[in-house]
Each structure stands twice: as C-alpha cells, then as structure tokens.
Structure 1
Amino acid sequence: MADPAASEASAAQPGALSVVLAGGGTAGHISPLLAIAGAVVAQRPGTRITAVGTEAGMETRLVPAAGFDLRTIDRVPLPRRPSVDLLKLPVRLVRAVRQARAIIVDTGADVVVGVGGYVSTPVYLAAWIRRVPVVIHEANARPGIANRVGARIAARVAVAFEGTGLTDAVLVGMPMRRSIADLDRSADSSGARASLGLDPDRPTLIVTGGSSGAASLNRAIAASVPDLIAAGIQVLHITGRGKRIDGDDGARFTAAGYHQVEFVDGMERVYAAADLLVARAGAATVSEVSAVGLPSVLVPLPHGNGEQRLNAASLVAAGGALLVEDAAVTPSWIRESVVPLVADAERLGAMSKAAYSQGVRDADRRMAELVLTVAGESR
C-alpha cells in the first residue's frame, strides 16, 4: 500500500514523474492497476500517481484506501449490438474524452497506463490527442474491446497470457499485490485459518464466485454442506456482496463447520487457508492461485465471450487445476469429486507443485519497468 503522505509530497515536487492509470469497475481491473502503481513508486520514489475511474466502481473505495489520488470520468459502455446505448455512444464518448483530457493536462502526465474496462477507452483516446504515450496491460486471454482499440495506439502492450492476438504484445504475467506474490502458504496456513474463524487442523474447502458472487456455485455448495461436513471438511463460503445464503427460516444459513461470509478483505488469507479452492476462472484468480501454488477447481462463466475458459487453459493443462462446466457443479458432483479430492493429500500436493510452476510472481515489477522506460522516452 502506498503512503498517502508520500503521494501528497510527490505531487508537490516540480519535475516529478507523472503516471496516469486508467481502469476500474471490478477488482479484476483495480487490483492489477494498484499493483502496477505500487511497483512504479517502489522503483521510482516520488512518482505522482493518478488513477482514473468512474463514480460507480469499486475504485472509489479501493484507490483512496491504497493512498493514491482518484479522478473520475463518465462511464461509457461499449455496446456489442444495436441498442439505445449505441445511439448515445458518440456523445457520451466525446464528453468522457474531454474529461480524460482535462485530467491528463492537469496532472502533466508523462505516460498513461491502461488495464481495460469502460473507463480506459476515453483515456486512451485523450492520451493520443495529447500525444502522451500509452502502455496497456491486458489481463485476459481474450482481450476486451477497450484494449483492442487501445493497442492500436499504444507504445507498449503487455499481457498476462499468451495468445491474445494483440500485436507486438510482451508477456509479463498478472500484476498482483506483494502479499499474494510472496505468500508462503505452508507457513501462513494456521494463522490465516485462525483469522478467518476456521479450525487450523481441519481439511478446508473455500468457495468464491468473486466480489460479485456466483449464484449457481452458491446454490450447489449450500446444498452440499451436509456431505462436506460429514466427510470432516470445513467450508468457508464467500458468497459475494448481497448474496447471503438463508435457511428455510429466512435467517442466515449456518451449520457446524460451515462458515459463510459475503466478502474477505485480503485474499492472501484465503489462499493460505485453503486446501482446495473452487472459483470462477477470472484472470486474477487463475494467476494468483498459480503464483501461490493453490490447487483449484475452476468453473468458467457460462456466458460471455469464453475468456475464462481460455484463462484457465494453461493451468489446467499443467495439472494445477480442474476445469468444470457451470452446469456440472451439482451436489452429486461435489459429493463424488470434490469430497475425495480434499481428502487426497498426495493429489493436492501434486496439483500445488504444478500450479506453482505456472506462476509469475514479478509481473508488477516487469510492468513498472515498461512504464518507466516509456515515460523516460517521452521526456
């Protein structure tokens, strides 16, 4: 986490390097953005960091909490098919580009860094208008619209996975917090379990659908609690904000050995506590379980552009994770597949080694080097 006092001091330094980072909406965009920002400041103390997001995203909480300045512009969705939003797009985009350009001018940006998402396109275009170089990081194996557009004008393009199709892309991995990248699961397991209210010595399954939750996973896990508990497995079920699981009486569903929370602050504790993780195959999740060597069952979103299946492909092929279709995650499948896997220490150990071999633990530093190189070339 950045020191807010240091950020304020750097803003007052004449001639200090100014880096504007664009991205927001979900943790999948904000987490790498903050990791890159932190690594840039670590490599170049005194750098002035400005993040650009929208007023509706998680960045309004997470960016200031990390000690960085946040500016906001209008949200500009990029419709994939004819709609009212498509008709409104030109006016919305022009307004957002003007807002982004004002931020770039006000901060004296030496370089713009984008991680994709709705907010990035206007910032890329504003940077191009102002002739400020752009560095892009694409987290997913299948790029989104914003980064496909931005890559055409970028000075450098970096990716977390091979095969994105982006021209001249450099593979750097997924920038993540040092608390995750440097995690020692074995050493931190007991403390992490205690901090989460779990038994330090009991086999542990953790299930998460991400910050937004996953209704299908939530239903299957809740229905499987009796089988899991009967097998001696404790469960931490991270349901997602606003997706609490209730019992027949309308109260929060509880059971001995079953722990339900909507959100966990600090996923490194989850990764250290789990023997096995069941989760969606978002780019950050796939990259982080690889970095820490955590065996996982990955369940790609059943809709969208198929990016989550591609994100998981290399890790699954290496033997570090299982890939299961969303519709196949049923109580019977959990009973027949997950229960014996959690109890199979030898198999989990092999999966852990395979996952760790796929991990990239210095992507934040690699990105910082790219950003600082481009910024230096522009001065």
Structure 2
Amino acid sequence: MNKIMFTGGGSAGHVTVNLALIPHFVEAGWSVDYIGSENGIEKQLVSSLSNVNYFGISTGKLRRYFDWQNVKDPFKVVKGVFQAYRHIKVLKPNVLFSKGGFVSVPVVLGAWLNKVPVIIHESDITPGLANRISIPFAAKICTTFPETAKHLQTGKTEYVGAVIREELKHGNADKGRAFCRFTENKPVLLIMGGSLGSRRINETVRRALDKLTETFQVVHLCGKGQLDSSIQNDNYRQYEFINEQLPDILEMSDVIISRAGSNSIFEFLYLRKPMLLIPLTKEQSRGDQILNARSFEALGFCEVLYEENLTEETLLNQAAQLYEHRLTYVRKMTDYEQRDALNAVIQLIEQAAKAN
C-alpha cells in the first residue's frame, strides 16, 4: 500500500491545499497520515476527516521580531524534530507533502533524516520563512505564481498554479441564503479577515455597518474570539469561522472584502468573485500579501485598500465602487486561463512516491 504524509498549519491557509489533496489519496486507497501541532487550527480541520490519522508534535513559532518566546521556541522545534522523526520512522510514508507554516519545519527535517522525499507547496510570490528553511531538504517545490522561481534560484521549482478545493466548485447560493436567512432582493458582501481574524478590519466594518447594510447583506467571518454579540442588524451575520457551509456562502456572495492570502484570492478568482483586498502590512508580515494584491490588481482582478488607509469612509467608498464595477472584474477573471494545479501536484507526488 502506498503511504503519504501531510504537514502544514498555523493558519487555515497552510492547510487548505492539503484538504484539497487528501480526498484523492484516500479514494485511491493510500494510507494517509498528518503531522501538525498539538492544538493548532490544522488539528481542528484535519481531525474531522475520515481515514486520516493525525499526530500532534511540539512546535515553536518562527518569528522575525524580538520576543522572549524566541528563547524557548528553538527547544520546542528540536523536540518536534525528534517526535516527527520517530513518527515517520514507524509509519514509513513513501512521500511527505508540506504546505508550510512553522509546524512543517520539524516534519520536513524528520522526513529528510528518514530519507523520505519531500514536496513543498509555496502559495505566495516569495516563500515564507518556514519554507525557506525547508527548501534545501525538498525534492520539489510547487509554486502558485510563475514569478516565484526567480526568488528561489533553484532548479527544484515547478510552476503548477493554484490548487482549488473541489468542494468550493459545488456551492449552492440558495443553501447559502437559507443558512444566513438572507433574501434574494439585496446583494451579499462577504468579509473575511483570514482564519485568525483581523481586529482592525472587524472594528472598521462594525463602525460602518449601518451604512454598509443600506446596500448589502453582510456576512462577516471575523476570527476566533472576535464576535460582537451586542450587534442587532437583520442584514448582518457574523461567524468566527465557517468550514462546511463556505462553498454555499461563497456562491451566494456578490463581492468580497478580504485579506490577500494566496489560497483565498485564487479561490475567489476561480469563482469569479470581485474582491477588495486589504493585505497585511509589512509590520504584520514579510509583505507577501502586498505582493499578492499588487499582482492581482495589475491583472485587473481586484481593488486594493492598504490597511494604513483603512477608515470607515474608505471602506464604504471602495465597497460601493467594487460593486458598481463588479461586471468588469468578472469579465477579466473569465479571461484568465485556469491551470489544473490539483492534478499537476498529484502527479508530482505519485512520481516521488514511485521513485522512493
């Protein structure tokens, strides 16, 4: 029996590609294991899958800034390497697929020490710190943007495009409206601050809510612990996070306001949803979302509102402008050539497994 192991976590963006791939290998009869953190979002998302064994390990966050946790976390990473090494030695996967995030580094090292081939997926134009550390130990790096190869300067890159979860292709707008108790008589605005939420976006949206809901029915995915139970508005629905109903919510949405994580924006592109992107600032990240947003803006797929310019007024103005010009964005997205990234990655994994 062929065996595959997955890793990746810390945010939903470091799990979604894995969630797209796992059903194929389960259906093909492969043994599927997943190594993630002991209490991260990846455990929540993966544990609900049948026929997938989940193993939690010790993890330490990889930070670019000073924090006293930086003293402790290297020891957690070393512990995680030993834990991952032991799991991989026992489970003997034919191949490891890593989506990145800080939890992936110990697992990639554990696989390399066990001589298990590693395939890495990089969603953004420039690789994150975890993937930068892991790349020397990988056999292949799959990229979403063609320009990523010039940042890596290695012959191991393979441009595959964006991997889209199969379930997102089958959303039902009527089911989405029923879930949210919305009508067909008013357009729907979906607001997403990423799986961990965004306090700045949440606060601005809620200050602008009365005016926003004059035009839109609003679905707000605000992140864990960021619900506001004091709000009473028939045209507003807020959720910490949505998984099962997300395809239906996306299908019913007319326009979207979102962070600029690569996985999400390519899913919006596939579904031809006009988007206003509010990328994480360079102070909050390495600037990857800014590059993602600029790339999409140059192609005519989105509007961009930088967080330093985010106010109640700019949010309202750009949301109205996005909706007014939505058909222009839809036409641009319709002209985009979609690659079959899912099958391209599956073939690379199968080739690596056979060669092992």
Q: TM-score, normalised by structure 1?
A: 0.86
Query: In structure 2, what residue type is equivalent to 1:130?
Result: N
Kept in 1: contact 2:95–2:349 (CA 8 A):
yes
2:94 maps to what in 1? 110
CA shift at 1:361, angstroms? 6.0
CA shift at 1:298, angstroms? 0.3
- Would you say 1:92 and 2:76 are equivalent positions? yes
CA shift at 1:356, angstroms? 4.2
Query: In structure 1, what residue type is equivalent to 2:11?
Result: T
Q: What CA deviation, in whole Å up to 9, does each residue of 1:86-109 have, x standing for no partner? A: 444554333221111111111111
- Would you say 1:365 and 2:347 are equivalent positions? no
The structure-2 alpha-carbon separation of the partners of 1:128 and 1:206, relative to structure 1 and needing over 3 Å to count, comes to: same
Tell me how far apart the structure 2 counterparts of residues 82 and 243 of structure 1 sit (CA, whole Å): 26
2:221 maps to what in 1? 238
1:192 maps to what in 2? 176
Counterpart mapping for 1:207-356 below 5 A: 207-230=191-214, 232-245=215-228, 251-265=229-243, 266-302=245-281, 303-342=284-323, 344=324, 347-356=325-334
Tell me how far apart the structure 1 counterparts of residues 77 and 239 of structure 2 sit (CA, whole Å): 38
Tell me how far apart the structure 2 counterparts of residues 374 and 124 of structure 1 sit (CA, whole Å): 15
Q: What CA deviation, in whole Å up to 9, does each residue of 1:310-362 have, x standing for no partner? A: 122332112111111113222212333322432x2xx2122123234447463
Kept in 2: contact 1:281–1:298 (CA 8 A):
yes
The structure-2 alpha-carbon separation of the partners of 1:316 and 1:353, relative to structure 1 and needing over 3 Å to count, comes to: same
Three-state SS of the structure 2 residue aligned to 1:69 is strand
Counterpart mapping for 1:60-71 below 5 A: 60-67=43-50, 68-71=52-55
Kept in 2: contact 1:237–1:259 (CA 8 A):
yes
The structure-2 alpha-carbon separation of the partners of 1:329 and 1:377, relative to structure 1 and needing over 3 Å to count, comes to: same
Gaps of 5+ in 1: 1-15, 246-250
CA shift at 1:83, angstroms? 5.2
Aligned with residue 161 of structure 2, among 168, 173, 189:
173
Three-state SS of the structure 2 residue aligned to 1:103 is helix
CA shift at 1:365, angstroms? 2.1
Three-state SS of the structure 1 residue aligned to 2:355 is helix
1:48 maps to what in 2? 31
Counterpart mapping for 1:135-154 below 5 A: 135-154=119-138
Kept in 2: contact 1:293–1:359 (CA 8 A):
no
Tell me how far apart the structure 2 counterparts of residues 85 and 229 of structure 1 sit (CA, whole Å): 42
- Would you say 1:160 and 2:138 are equivalent positions? no
Three-state SS of the structure 1 residue aligned to 2:191 is strand
Three-state SS of the structure 1 residue aligned to 2:64 is coil
Three-state SS of the structure 2 residue aligned to 1:202 is coil
CA shift at 1:80, angstroms? 2.8
Gaps of 5+ in 2: none
Tell me how far apart the structure 1 counterparts of residues 68 and 322 of structure 2 sit (CA, whole Å): 49
Tell me how far apart the structure 2 counterparts of residues 80 and 311 of structure 1 sit (CA, whole Å): 20
Q: What CA deviation, in whole Å up to 9, does each residue of 1:21-60 have, x standing for no partner? A: 1112211111111212223334xx1111100001120122
Q: TM-score, normalised by structure 2?
A: 0.91
Aligned with residue 185 of structure 2, among 198, 201, 206:
201
CA shift at 1:213, angstroms? 1.4
1:377 maps to what in 2? 355
CA shift at 1:307, angstroms? 0.5
Percent sequence identity over matched residues?
Answer: 28
Tell me how far apart the structure 1 counterparts of residues 182 and 337 of structure 2 sit (CA, whole Å): 27
Kept in 2: contact 1:207–1:277 (CA 8 A):
yes
Cα RMSD after superposing both structures: 2.0
